[in-house]
Structure 1
Amino acid sequence: MAIYNINEVFTPTRPARKNFIKRKPLDKRLQRALKTPGMQVVIYGHSGSGKTTLLLNKLKELNLKFVKTNCTANMTFDDLLSNVYIKLDKELPPKKIDKEKQVGGGKLSLATIASFNSSTTSENTTERSFISPFSSIELTLSKTIGEKESIWVIEDFHKLEVDVKSKLAQLMKVFMDLSDEYSKLKIVALGAKNTAREVVELDSEMQNRVSEIYVPLMNDEEICKIVENGTNLLNISAKEHVINDVVDHSHGVASICHQLCLLMCKSVDIDSTDEYDSGVELDFEDFNFAASEYIQQVSDTLKSAFQKAMKIPRSNEILSCLAENDIDGVELQDLVEYINENFDAVEITQTTLEEPLSKLSCADHGSVLMYNEQSENYSFKDPFYRLFAKLFLKESHKKKRLSASEVNKMFNQLILSAKRSYSNPSNNLANSTDTLFNDKSDIDDAEKLSNKWKKSQSRINRTTE
């Protein structure tokens, strides 16, 4: 029997290896793109959809070498090039640069200059650097990566500024033009859902030269396979209703599934494959422990997300609608109809909600919501966000104006209430001495939220006990 450490099996913070679930249509599409000389690749989708895991496992399977750059919001084009050169252990020869006539990549940061051992004089600068006319930068970088028979993987492409994205789009053309000489040379950019559209819009010539691969959130069967495959590797099992609850709460996000499974294993003290066939079976109390711990882990994120979200116009109406509907979310027109029917305001249209919905789905504003391009539904990021929103909306409606300290206190109480709905299932919210709810209807609604997230059209055969 092979022995696996639990951190090899359930990997919420890094790409899955041992417990990688292959998604055949995506896998074939990506393989064709990677094997086509000159074809540049853009992999895009929601955070947590499995973009990086998909790519890294395919690169390993095809035995392709790569150099990877993780983008940040403040990265310049110079920073990106510097990152690649350092990782390839490559330097350009020293050259003389007239500061008054300098063109191209711009001024390097002190950290980057230091990495190339630069020296300065009062009038001119002599340094080991890649600052040069733009065409020279493109050609030199392309050949350097091509000689290494590598692929350049650019993660979080969407975080870059528009001017940096534009230069990278131009660089993709250079990579493509050199593919006759270097057949494996290409850029693979990973990013949020609009990444592919941005690349083409920045340079229209890339329209037929980029393979756009959309990675949707996982479906129920794929999330289920993560649980089943992981428990098999650890030689334990999980009851069917527990698997169903993990599937429901993961909401298509593999990292949430991995985190819940990891925490359930911690609940029964499983740190590696059970060599002794102890018959460990994960049950409701293990899931409740995992859900409670998960809420505690993301509590600051939850509070921050909702504090940002509530500053957006129309957020209260939008969140109210989604909290009252199925966890799978609603279409834009349904949102419009709900708001027009339930709020005393000027009648709105779909156009009215486009901007607030975009912001509520954006990381800069907390990413409380997500948009599913397949179903065309807007929904909460995951059921934990929906639970928190339900509790938050009930409490915030009791008092129209809250001070900053009152808001912070309320958020802390909401986190405790959300945890309690899982961590103490035998003592429901009605029996809690510090419950937030003042009437029976509030309590009933909260109890229904505890872990009753059964989807209306699940693909998994669910049973009740």
Structure 2
Amino acid sequence: MSATINLEDVFKLSGIPTYTFVEPNEYKKLMVSIRTKGRGVVIEGPSGIGKTTCVLQIIKDLGLKGDFRVLSGRKRRDRAEIENLLTADSFGGVILDDFHKLDGEIKSKFSDLLKVLADEEVEDSKLIVIGINKTGKSLIEFSNDLRNRISIIKFESNPEEKVKELINKGEEALNFSLNIKDEIVKEAQGSFHIAQMLAHNACIASKISERCNEKSISNLSYESLKESVLSELDLSYSDVVTNFVKGQRVKKGSRAPYLHVLYWLAQADEWSINLQELLVHNPTHKNSVGQILTKGHLKTHFESDERFSDVMYFNSDTSEVSIEDPKFSFYLRSVLWTKLARKIGFYSFDFKSSYDFALSFAGSNRDDANYIFERLSDNEIAVFYDNNEQSRILSENVEEYLAPIYRSESVYVVPLLSPQYPTRIWCKFEGDVFQARFGSNSVIPLRYSDCPIGMFDATNGVGGFSIDVNEPRESQLDSFVQLLVDKIHEKRIEDAENSNMG
């Protein structure tokens, strides 16, 4: 009597496939590299596409299973053993998974170790490093001459025919056909892990738990299967997503920079993004996402909750964000981002202007301008402040750079109208540019009490804020900043309502 073939051994949710292993395109190249004595192997690529599974299968096929142990940079209990490899005379075969999780100093030492193993053609130590995209590049950056001493094998997302082959093998093992196989293949987006998960749940929904005695076919709707899977994943990931997009707290008037980081990650084909590169193509976010990146707020936020690092990886040195958990990627693709933004308290998700406020001021009022900039930036509001733009202005035609900002690229212009303002050349230039905006409710003057009457006739009748130069400055500026926050918050709500009407 033949043994029963169970569903959990066919479409496996974790571990090495028993019936559904599919050789990825990189299989032969990787097998030869593993078989080559003394040569280090680095495998890089997105999570969930079968890198570790492929390595373990090759080791099994080569009859080397007992010669290798698996260590993970993700597991704290493995850290001591990982560091011991650096000083061991020989360590046999080691698969070092999640290499990107190790700190820079340890990575540098492993770069040196791989070089030594290659130069000395060590035959009793074999190191296989597995990590996310650009793992090989990170090692070479520590040692430029390492490139020709190791094999770097990049795993791409699996083509649909490979994912379909996996499903076919599972169907054959269970004597059962999935009527939504094509939809599962498409939705897996090259991930064997997601394909296994969806096929497993499809079988459960069809009440298939083991091999069928007679050939049968499912009668499922993919949409109902997807909703069922997402409902289950929601228990694991809903709070993670909500807490991440909020940042440290939801700030009134915020441009929702953390939400955009996650949104961009959800759209990424390879489950990995480079924020610096994305900001070049999304300039309206350079003063929101750019701020949390350059000021270290994003790094602090990632480190504030262990659940974030369970599903994502952030490299603050390169500004790379990658998905660690394939199921999290599947979940992110289903998020209704505009609805989520509104639910949390972000009224705008799309921004037409690069800046919410553009400050115009004389040099003698720089301390006040800087204070306003810092307080607004703390609220994740985009502000044009010249000191924060020096690297961008460098080598540019300054007039051509500034004119669009004061003319149309900021929602509001905030001129600091002190006695010195009309005497400064750049203030006059900026004022000439934004003068046309009077009457469009987009200029908010900050008036100093020591200005002679009639100095700024153009601003008469325009609602602004007055600073008494004889009173403590900071509390007055705080009041003004709060009014600006309220103003941009109201503008976001107004834009959202107009968008709904459209």
TM-score class normalised by the smaller sequence: 0.5 to 0.7
Distance across 2 between alignment mates of 1:334 and 1:164: 27
1:238 pairs with one of 178, 201, 221? 178
Find the residue that maps to 1:158 and give its secondary structure: helix
1:270 pairs with one of 190, 202, 208? 208
Q: How far 1:191 sits from its partner (Å)? A: 1.3
Paired residue for 2:114?
A: 172
Q: How far 1:257 sits from its partner (Å)? A: 1.4
Distance across 2 between alignment mates of 1:230 and 1:292: 21
Give the total of aligned pairs. Answer: 327
Distance across 1 between alignment mates of 2:51 and 2:72: 14
Find the residue that maps to 2:243 and give its secondary structure: helix
Distance across 1 between alignment mates of 2:208 and 2:187: 22
Q: Please say if 1:284 is aligned against 2:221.
A: yes
Cα 1:77/1:29, change in 2 over 3 Å? same
In structure 1, the gaps of 5 or more residues are 85-133, 146-150, 371-375, 401-438, 443-465
Paired residue for 1:37?
A: 37
Q: Please say if 1:58 is aligned against 2:6.
A: no
Distance across 2 between alignment mates of 1:244 and 1:205: 46
Cα 1:214/1:282, change in 2 over 3 Å? farther
TM-score w.r.t. length of structure 2 = 0.54
Cα 1:316/1:163, change in 2 over 3 Å? closer
Q: How far 1:62 sits from its partner (Å)? A: 1.5
Paired residue for 1:13?
A: 14
Find the residue that maps to 1:208 and give its secondary structure: helix
Paired residue for 1:253?
A: 191
Q: Which amino acid aligns with 2:332?
A: Y
Q: Please say if 1:68 is aligned against 2:76.
A: no
- 1:90-239 maps to which residues of 2 (within 5 A)? 137-139=87-89, 142=90, 145=92, 151-179=93-121, 182=123, 185-239=125-179
Q: How far 1:368 sits from its partner (Å)? A: 7.0
Q: How far 1:60 sits from its partner (Å)? A: 1.1
Contact 2:95 2:127 (C-alpha < 8 Å) held by counterparts: yes
Cα 1:361/1:40, change in 2 over 3 Å? farther
Larger radius of gyration: 2
Cα 1:162/1:269, change in 2 over 3 Å? same
Paired residue for 2:232?
A: 296
TM-score w.r.t. length of structure 1 = 0.58
Cα 1:304/1:9, change in 2 over 3 Å? same
Q: How far 1:327 sits from its partner (Å)? A: 8.2
Identity, % of aligned pairs? Answer: 21
Paired residue for 1:46?
A: 46
Distance across 2 between alignment mates of 1:185 and 1:333: 39
Distance across 2 between alignment mates of 1:12 and 1:236: 18
Cα 1:317/1:179, change in 2 over 3 Å? closer
Q: How far 1:33 sits from its partner (Å)? A: 1.0
Cα 1:266/1:171, change in 2 over 3 Å? same
Distance across 2 between alignment mates of 1:332 and 1:163: 24
Distance across 2 between alignment mates of 1:378 and 1:74: 20
Contact 1:45 1:193 (C-alpha < 8 Å) held by counterparts: yes
Find the residue that maps to 2:247 and give its secondary structure: coil
Partner deviation per Cα, 1:117-152 (whole Å, 9 max, x = no partner): xxxxxxxxxxxxxxxxx7xx332xx1x52xxxxx21
Q: How far 1:209 sits from its partner (Å)? A: 0.8
Contact 2:257 2:288 (C-alpha < 8 Å) held by counterparts: no
Cα 1:320/1:79, change in 2 over 3 Å? closer
Cα 1:194/1:4, change in 2 over 3 Å? same
Q: How far 1:189 sits from its partner (Å)? A: 0.9
Partner deviation per Cα, 1:62-87 (whole Å, 9 max, x = no partner): 222312212336568643266x8xxx
Contact 1:138 1:171 (C-alpha < 8 Å) held by counterparts: no
- Alpha-carbon RMSD across the aligned residues, in angstroms, is 4.4
Paired residue for 2:340?
A: 392
Q: How far 1:173 sits from its partner (Å)? A: 3.3
Find the residue that maps to 2:16 and give its secondary structure: coil
